[in-house]
Amino acid sequence: MSIIIKNFIESKFSNKANQYLLTIQKVGKIFAKVHSIDMPLGDTKPENALIDSKGDIFLLDFEQSAYGGDKIWDLAVFFYFIGHYIPLSCDKTIIASIVNSFLVGYLSGSGNFNHVHNVGNTKYSRIFLFSYYHLFYWK
């Protein structure tokens, strides 16, 4: 998944850009499906979502997951790690496209809107101190 994000940023809305955004959207939908069974993923950095040559997505690293755990944290960590791939000079529309694609997938996959909304709460937003851009898309 990290490669998809990097490629999208470098594509600057080329013909392949839509493909990258659809993959990001699929990942959001998968997160929502896992959350719908009351299972947070735990470690949601993009490296833990692998995409094979057919476009199938596989989630890895469930050692931190536990039934009934904090699903909002999953979203916060995912967005935090996206910030590691975004250069400071990156156009905000590119960042917004990545975040929005994930959220469209998450919400269309029955993800909880309150979880999305609450990522901006102090408990979660403190991890964004070193990923400046993402705070613009909450609340």
Question: How far is it, in rounded angstroms, from Cα 69 to Cα 63?
Answer: 13
pLDDT at 110 over 50: yes
Average pLDDT, the chain: 86
Q: Print the domain residue range for 25.
A: 2-137
- Please state the rounded mean pLDDT for residues 98-114: 96
pLDDT for 130 equals 61
Question: How far is it, in rounded angstroms, from Cα 117 to Cα 11?
Answer: 29
Domain count, the chain: 1
Which are the contacts of 103, defined by CB distance < 8 A and separation ≥ 6?
A: 28, 116
**The domain spanning residue 97 has which CATH number?**
1.10.510.10
> What is the tens place of the pLDDT at every residue in 53-63?
998 999 998 87
pLDDT at 109 over 70: yes
Written as six digits, the tokens of 51 are 């995409």
Judged by DSSP in three states, 50 sits in: strand
